Amino acid sequence: MAEQKQTEDQKQNQKRWLSQPPAFCDLCGRSFKTLTVFYDAKLPPFPWGLYCHSCFTSRKGRLGLGFGQKYSTKPPYLKLKG
């Protein structure tokens, strides 16, 4: 897992998910408990929501400002990409 090879410095500069972490994918209802990442993303024609990796990729989600952000489902819910 490349995400786990970050230095402490990088972790401190990283953005985090500040609200309660999501429980389920807004699209397929899968529980995030068993997953390592979630996406705060816009997946047209769906509005912004919290989605699992499989929904994000199958709906051709994009990462970046105005598109989507990828977060870890594990505390402290660091932003990984986007």
Among 11, 15, 23, 28, binds Zn ion (CB under 5 A): 28
Between 10 and 54, whose beta carbon lies closer to Zn ion? 54
Composition of the chain by helix, strand, coil, percent to 5: 25, 30, 50
56 contacts 39 by C-beta, under 8 angstroms: yes
Binding to Zn ion by residue 23, rule CB under 5 A? no
Binding to Zn ion by residue 43, rule CB under 5 A? no
Note the residues at the interface with Zn ion (CB under 5 A): 25, 27-28, 30, 52, 55
